[in-house]
Amino acid sequence: MDNTNLIIERDKRYILGTYAAHDIVFEKGEGCMLYDTEGKEYLDFLSGIAVACLGHNNKKLVAAIKKQAQKLMIASNYFYTQPRGLLAEKLLKGSHFSKVFFTNSGAESNEAALKAAKKYFNQFHPQRYKIVTCLNSFHGRTIATVTATGQEKYYKPFSPMPDWFIYVPFNDKEALRKALSDKEVGAFMVECVQGEGGVVPASEDYLSYARKLTKKNDQLLIIDEVQTGIMRTGKMFAYQHYGIKPDIVTIAKGLGGGFPIGACLLTDKVANVMKVGDHGTTFGSNPLACHAALTVIKELKKKSMREHIQNISVYFFNKLKTFEKYPFIKEIRGKGLMAGLEFDDKYQVKEIVKALLDKGLVASMAGQNTLRLLPPLIVNQKEIDQMGEILETVLKELNQ
């Protein structure tokens, strides 16, 4: 193993400088713990940004990947392989969706959704081409998804951008009603909890209002569950908290538990417009990723696991509530095992993240000065207590 500095310097020399990474080299992980090349251990309350839902080095997931890798990793979408169909069946059965398109990332899942929506407009409402999204949203980094992302800082450097996105303030029903009354608008794409935007949940009636309006005009409701999906908020999909049935849902992150895979789930009426040749991917649907995801879904669908997530979420938020005593914490938000602590602007969350790392807790910043916590879904009370102790130490110092 090369030493830490050499690894960092090599990266800095050769890797495109699009990230401001911390000077830490992670070498291995176990459960909710990460270990760096200096032998220091960290509690992982980021999970690779809502990915490692079963924690690190999960025995069943590792064994599934190993077994499938030895059998067959890729065959191409010109042929059938068993894991793809099994995963699709597991995801769709019992839901109102009828078809799935597998991808390799969240952005690609959203691209698939946008293409299917566009094809739907062209077929049934040719005058429609615009899509409404929310300010402060995040939908990915491809040209279309970065434009869908309602944050100028992400798309402005690449302008001119596609001109078919309209942005509305999140949780503002009147603004949504106005935007959807545009005859050229065909869809509304939204997150149930804005993740990158600072862990901001949709208000109780916002999504049902959106569903009611879009249904009335045969506009499509696309829910981006790339961060919130796969039990992150305590249900398989976060839209289930809101009692709605979207036309399209996109997922990725937690689906493979660390193995790259995403998916776009479609109801019959949208799925029917997509024909042979309309979309494709070389890697999407490969048996290795599908077998990994199948293992993840099987684990998460277990009654014991669902109960664990529900109970531990209550414990997690009760613990976080104890930090309300600090006047510089403006709000504590979230759902399930997705939490955000918004700080007063006088305090830099970037610096708080660094202080937490120093003390062995991995977390991240999201949105406007919000500390985001996304532990693996297997996290236990002891680990939450440990997180609480580290956070308490750092916030106490801040309060002095």
* Contact residues for ligand PLP, defined by CB under 6 A: 49, 105-107, 110, 138-140, 191, 195-196, 224, 226-227, 252
The rounded distance, in Å, linking the Cα atoms of 81 and 222 is 29
Which residue pairs from 141-148 have beta carbons closer than 8 angstroms and sit at least 24 positions apart in sequence?
Answer: 141/107, 142/107, 142/108, 142/110, 142/111, 144/110, 144/111, 144/114, 145/107, 145/110, 145/111, 145/114, 148/110, 148/114, 148/189
State the minimum distance, in angstroms, from the CB of residue 342 to ligand PLP.
Answer: 18
DSSP H or E run through 167: strand 165-168
In the complex, least distance from residue 362 CB atom to ligand PLP, rounded to whole angstroms = 16
Q: Which residue is nearest to ligand PLP (CB)?
A: 106
- Closest contact distance (angstroms) between CB of 358 and ligand PLP is 25
- Residue closer to ligand PLP, measured from CB, 58 or 105: 105
Q: Measured from the CB atom, is 140 or 336 closer to ligand PLP? A: 140
Q: Which is nearer to ligand PLP, 138 or 343 (CB)?
A: 138
Question: In whole angstroms, how close is the CB of 100 to ligand PLP at the nearest point?
Answer: 17
Comparing CB distances to ligand PLP, the nearer of 52 and 391 is 52
Closer residue to ligand PLP in complex, CB, 224/299 = 224
Tokens 């992982």 locate to 44
CA angle 35, 37, 42 (to 5 degrees): 25
Query: Which C-beta is closer to ligand PLP: that of 33 or that of 112?
Result: 112
What is the C-alpha separation between 319 and 374, in angstroms, rounded?
14
Least distance CB 141 / ligand PLP (angstroms): 6
For residue 372, the minimal CB distance to ligand PLP (Å) is 11
The helices-and-strands tally (H runs, E runs) of the chain is 14, 17
- Residue indicated by tokens 């009636």: 205
Mapping DSSP to helix (H, G, I), strand (E, B) and coil, where does residue 34 land? strand
